[in-house]
Each structure stands twice: as C-alpha cells, then as structure tokens.
C-alpha cells in the first residue's frame, strides 16, 4: 500500500472521528436537557426554562436554570443515572451541584463503572430552594457512533489511538519486509534472500547455482517482484507477460507459474501462492 494511500486513510479516519465527536457533543447536550427537564418536574416546575447547556472543557458540561428550585439528592442521582443509561453513555461520571460560584459546591457525588465503588453521600438531606447549576463531568472520553445495524457503540479516544498505532506498525512492518527483501546489486540483479535474479540474462542463482529461465518465466518473475507480498490479478499477469502477442491463452499462465514454483523451491523464504478466484501472490518471508 503506497504511503500516500495510507495517509489518506488516516486522514479519513480522523475526519470521521472528528465528525463523530461533534455528534457525541450534540447527543450529550440533548441528554442533559432531558435531565434538567426531569429535575424541574420533580420540583413541581413545568414552566421555567432550562438555559443553554454550557461546555466548560473536554467532557465537562453545566446545566443552568432560569429560576431557583429545590432538589432531592436521591431523585437527582436516579434521574441522571437513568437518563445516561438509557442514552447508552459510559456510566463513569462526577456530578456537582453548584450555587453562585463554581467553587461553591452544595452537593456532589461520583459514579464508577463498578457501582460498589461509587460515592453517593447525603441522599436524605434536602437543600433549600436556590438558583443551582448542575455540572456533570464524564470521566471517560467517549466517542459515540452508530453501527450499521443502528445500535450505538462507544469507543474511547485512547482505544482509537491504539488501533491506529497497531495499523501503522503492521503497515510499516510490511513495507520493511518489502524493502529489506528486495535489493539490487551493482549489475542491476535483484536479490531475494538467497536468490539472485538477472533479468537480462534470464538466470536465477540459488546459493551460487545457476538456473536458466525462459523469456516468459523471466517476465513473469519480474512482475511478481514488482509487487511482493501483494495479490496480483490473473488479468494483469496475462497482459504484462503475454499482452504484446495479441492472443492470450489463460492456461499458459498456470503452466509457467508451476514451472517458476519448482525453480524457486530451494529458497524456502520465497514462494508463489495461488489466491483462488483472484490470481497469485509472491510471498517473501523475512527470516
């Protein structure tokens, strides 16, 4: 795979996740408005407004209200947890009820993935009526995306980074094998492991033992060497080797591949593999 193609794939992945992050932010705001609505209903307020949801920093949001209200801690905990669970967000978050100053925290609690480790104090103490704001901090960094079947799947940003790193390592390893396996000496011969291929003289050396190749075998091997460890379609092989002759016999390809296989047998790190329904692949194994 060319590096330019790899860069395009990475760019598209990042763009996709950037768009997903925006969708996640919108869904969070909708869920928080639902939470604010239920809290007001619980305090017998069905008319006052919920102000625009504020995003303070990454994964930290604040619900603000038009008028003062009162809340019951146990019902607040239930409303927040039930709403976030229904909308399939990670249930790992911190809730803080604030008064005038963000530093003036009236009530707070923390929910862990393991509910036994959650900290939920003072459930029975009812604070007075006041113009509160409710801050919710998500302790994970989730990205929410719709799968093909419509179900919501949640991926963390660190998981996505790990995925990209593994993909890059595999791609880089493949390119390293390709670069280290195929080298050219001063005469222009191509060296593959212990093999030394001379296209001009149609000779393949294996451990200094010369093996003669026909013109067709040489052209075929040259095509394989141009795309090591990659699947080459039958049509491409036929066109590159027999295209100038006008008439192409499909069976000829299989015959010459079979001959070439036998001549490559002494070098176990190089082999031609049949890809059924597609074509062939020259596999070069790094020792």
**Ramachandran region, residue 284 (left: φ > 0; alpha: ψ -120 to 50; beta: rest):** beta
Residue located via tokens 């149609």:
202
Angle, vertex CA 50, rays to CA 143 and CA 85, nearest 5: 35
In this prediction, residue 287 carries a pLDDT of: 58
Altogether, the residues listed in the chain come to a count of 287
Q: Can you name the residues that pair with 64 across neighbouring β-strands?
A: 133
* 10-residue mean pLDDT series, the chain (287 residues): 52 49 77 95 93 91 94 93 88 89 82 80 87 90 43 50 66 50 56 78 82 89 89 90 68 88 85 91 81
- The reply to whether CATH 3.50.50.60 applies to domain 215-284 is no
Give the residue extent of every domain in the chain.
3-161, 215-284
Q: What is the pTM of this model?
A: 0.47
Give me the sign of the Cα torsion angle 171, 177, 180, 182: negative
- pLDDT recorded at residue 66: 93
What is the per-residue pLDDT for 274?
Answer: 92
The reported pLDDT for the residue numbered 146 is 38
pLDDT for 143 equals: 45
């Amino acid at each position: 795979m060319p590096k330019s193609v790899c860069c395009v794939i990475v760019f598209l992945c990042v763009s996709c996740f950037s768009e997903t992050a925006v969708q996640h932010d919108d869904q969070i705001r909708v869920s928080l408005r639902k939470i604010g609505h239920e809290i007001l209903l619980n305090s017998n307020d069905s008319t006052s407004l919920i102000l625009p949801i504020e995003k303070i920093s990454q994964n930290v949001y604040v619900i603000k209200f038009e008028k003062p209200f009162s809340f019951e801690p146990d019902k607040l905990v239930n409303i927040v947890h039930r709403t976030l669970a229904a909308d399939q967000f990670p249930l790992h978050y911190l809730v803080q009820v604030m008064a005038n100053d963000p530093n003036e925290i009236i009530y707070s609690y923390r929910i862990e993935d393991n509910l036994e480790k959650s900290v939920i104090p003072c459930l029975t103490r009812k604070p007075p009526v006041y113009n509160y704001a409710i801050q919710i901090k998500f302790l994970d960094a989730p990205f929410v995306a719709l799968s093909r079947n419509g179900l919501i799947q949640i991926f963390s940003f660190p998981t996505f980074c790990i995925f990209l790193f593994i993909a890059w390592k595999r791609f880089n390893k493949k390119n390293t094998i390709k670069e280290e396996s195929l080298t050219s000496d001063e005469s222009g011969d191509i060296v593959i492991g212990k093999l030394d291929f001379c296209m001009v003289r149609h000779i393949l050396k294996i451990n200094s033992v010369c093996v003669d190749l026909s013109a067709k075998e040489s052209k075929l091997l040259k095509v394989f060497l141009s795309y090591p460890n990659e699947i080459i379609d039958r049509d491409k092989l036929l066109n590159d080797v027999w295209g100038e002759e006008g008439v192409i016999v499909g069976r000829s390809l299989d015959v010459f591949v079979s001959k070439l296989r036998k001549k490559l047998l002494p070098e176990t790190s190089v082999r031609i593999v049949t890809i059924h329904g597609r074509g062939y692949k020259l596999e070069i194994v790094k020792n």
